[in-house]
Amino acid sequence: MARRDTDEPDERRGRRSGIGDARAFTPRGRTTRDGLPPEHDGRPRARTGPAAEPDPQAEAELQRRRAELRMVRGGRAEEGRPPQRLGRVTGAPRQRPRRDEDDHEEDFAPEPPPRRAGAGSAGRGRPGVGRPAFGERTRAAARDPRRGDRLPPARGRTDQRRGRPSSPPVEPPKMGEPRRRLRLATALSLILFAVIGIRLVQFQLTDAPAFAAAGLKERLDEVGLPAPRGAIYDRDGAVLVKSVEARFVGVDPELVTDVRGTAVALAPLLGKAPSELEPLLQKGRQEVSGAKIRFRWLLRGLDVQTANTVKALKLNGIIVDRDERRDLPGQDLAANLIGFTGTDMNGLTGIEARFDDVLRGRNGELVYETGNGQLAKPIPGGYRKETPAQPGSSLMLTIDWDVQFQTQRILFENMQKVKAIWGATVVLDARTGELIAQASYPTFNAADPFDAKPEQLADNASSMVVDPGSVHKAIVLSAALEEGVVEPDSTIKVGPSIRKGTQTYWDSHQLPEGTKITLPGLMAFSSNVATIKIADKLGAEKLYEYQKLFGLGQPTGIGVPGESAGMLQKPEDWSGTSYGSIPIGHEMAVTPLQMAAAYAAIANDGVWIQPHLIRKTIAPDGKVTEPAPPKSHRVISPGNAAALREIMEAVTSADQATGHSAALPGYRIAGKTGTGSQVVDGKYVKGEVGSFIGMAPAEDPRYVIAVFVKTPGVGAGGKVAGPAFRDTMAFTLRHFKVLPSTVKSPDFVTHY
């Protein structure tokens, strides 16, 4: 390395050597501006000897570098940074840039001119002139505007000291693009405003109705509009049961402050003892959820006047509000047939239950907008919607009030004479199949049904199952006449008894062996032997077929819940004794109503008509709807039906006949007595069921009446069934103004 010429004047002489001076003015990490003396004009000079003339190529390179630095400074200004002043020579910033380990060091001084011959080492040793000091470079001061980092060091010079070739020149860094950033910011703003706008539209159009409805719901009050239950009338329009406005009395136990005093005050008005009311007024919790009990019923169906008195007491926790109750003017009149409703006006038994969907109306609702707090009153002009209540339809029955009343009275009086267990009476219109009356004993007060015993609630005529006994013999004779097995004037040889299987069957009126008995005699004496012999000729299949045609062993469909179907044995199931028992009405089960309908077919010239109870339906607007015609079919011919009716007249008119107690003066009566047993779960129960079924007038029957009575003793039922039939038939014929018979019953020959 050449030494500095000591003869060259140096204004820093005496301080440092040439190398030291260079390092002092161009330390690592400093710019040429910081290391040049104040009088330096930025042009390269020789360190010794006379001043060298400027080189045009060096001047051009210097101008190019200055232009590059201006571009760099201009890019920073675009990024929002204030432009920095350029140095006089290199354009470097006045501030010394902070050193960063990742930054490259570069000399921003202009490239020295090419060395000339003879120059030697004249340019060495002076700082800031010619090429940089040995091994030292300045830090790049510019930053890359795209990365936010400093610009990479300028390249393209040759490290002459180390003899490395120069790198290819690097393109100047790209300037910032404000228009691109502006477009991006605009797009983001538009997206933001679009989202906000869509949400506002959603609030205004999509969600607004929901918000409005939610707010409105908080201001709405609802009032139920109860729908009256339809009434039930008799055939002439007399009210059997109807709904009347009433009140209920309830209690919120949490609000009762004086349990004892409240119970004492309510007791006389509600018709209950204070000790009965006190437990209902006590606070309590529900068994399942454990929540506080906030309501209990005290009384339903209270009349309006009494309820107003209760309300006037202003007792804490006591609630009085609108209710409905069923009013039955007849109380127990046809109670077993009509049934009753529950506390919620839903039918529970009888017609009330069977036709509940017709009788029950649809409750309405009044919804209106109210204020809050003390202004909790309807808002004039506010929301108001009323759904009118739809009252239930009413039913007009085929029942006649007067006949029903007399039928029940007569049955009850006769039942009490023999201390009967139960009884049933059915009154049918033979020509139409309409049920005129249907009484059950015992009965109950339908106005207060919840105190009744279970046996008092049943409709015995349609639910009790019995073996019919001798009343079944009319079915055997009908089939035999229709099939030609016997003729009206036929006779049958009989004896005192007959054996079938393991059973011997005896007659109550025993005749010598070989006696010829007529068909009127068979019915008058109720001959088991003659009936079994005719059934043998008829055959089990034919008898079973006619039993079905007469409606036995199947529900009549009258419309009363709980109706029993009875039971018939198919011929293939018959045993040896069945050939003797079934023809006389045993080993089978029927209901009193089924047997009444079978006799009505004989009275109606051989046509069976389904018994029915509903005459018409009356809508709330008064529109009348009649039910579909009842089912009907022919069983026997009119001639055979008329012949059989005449044969059965012997039961009430022939000497020593079994049905004299059922005879009715002035009218020809055709009928039959019977004795059987009640069947429960397929087994006979203790006691006897006596019966009588008849029709009048026999020459042209209008009504059929069946009476069944179960007594604890033997024979008592037959003694009361006949008289009960007679009295009921007498009133029915007079009530409907049926003229007495003009021709007397024939004189019957019973046996030879």
For residue 462, give the H/E element and its range.
Answer: helix 460-463
220-225 β-sheet, strand order: 220-225, 364-369, 384-387
**Can you tell me the distance from the alpha carbon of 741 to that of 471, in angstroms, rounded to the nearest whole number?**
24
Q: How far is CA 621 from CA 231, 243, 399, 567, in A?
A: 14, 17, 23, 44
Structural domains of the chain, ranges and CATH numbers in brackets: 1-158 (no CATH), 223-397 (3.90.1310.10), 401-735 (3.40.710.10)
pLDDT digits over 24-71, tens only? 444 444 444 444 444 444 454 544 444 455 677 877 888 887 777 776
pTM: 0.69
Whether 470 is a known active-site residue: answer: yes
In DSSP notation, 135-163 reads T--PBP--EETTTTEEPPPP-----TTTT
In DSSP notation, 653-682 reads HSTT-TTGGG-BTTB--EEEEEEE-BEETT
**pLDDT band for position 590 (cuts 50, 70, 90):** very high
Q: Taking each helix axis from N to C terminus, what angle separates 259-270 and 274-281, rounded to the nearest 10 degrees?
A: 130
Give the phi and the psi of residue 645 in degrees, each rounded to 5: -60, -40
Average pLDDT, the chain: 81
**Can you tell me the distance from the alpha carbon of 727 to that of 667, in angstroms, rounded to the nearest whole number?**
12
Angle, alpha carbons 741-694-584 (nearest 5°) = 140
Comparing 101-110, 219-228, 282-291, 312-321, the range with the smallest average pLDDT is: 101-110
Which residues lie closer than 8 Å to 276 by C-beta, 6 or more apart? Answer: none
What are the structure tokens assigned to 223, written together?
A: 């009032």
Q: How far is CA 93 from CA 27, 65, 74, 347, in A?
A: 16, 14, 13, 105
The amino acid at residue 324 is E
Instruction: Please tell me which residue, 21 or 296, carries the higher pLDDT value.
Output: 296
Set 394, 470, 478, 677: catalytic member: 470
Cβ-based neighbour number of residue 466 at 10 Å = 26
What are the structure tokens assigned to 354, written together?
A: 């069977």
**Can you tell me the distance from the alpha carbon of 104 to that of 118, in angstroms, rounded to the nearest whole number?**
34
Comparing 228-237, 369-378, 553-562, the range with the smallest average pLDDT is: 369-378
Please choose, from the candidates 465, 684, 709, 476, the residue with its C-alpha nearest in 3D space to the C-alpha of residue 593. Answer: 465
Share of the chain above pLDDT 70, in %: 76
* Burial class (CB within 10 angstroms; exposed 0-12, middle 13-18, buried 19+) of 208: exposed
Of 373-382, 449-458, 694-703, the range with the highest mean pLDDT is: 694-703
Instruction: Please tell me which residue, 248 or 37, carries the higher pLDDT value.
Output: 248
Q: Is the predicted pLDDT of residue 94 greater than 60, yes or no?
A: no
The terminus-to-terminus CA distance of the chain in angstroms comes to 178
Please choose, from the candidates 87, 88, 107, the residue with its C-alpha nearest in 3D space to the C-alpha of residue 41. Answer: 88
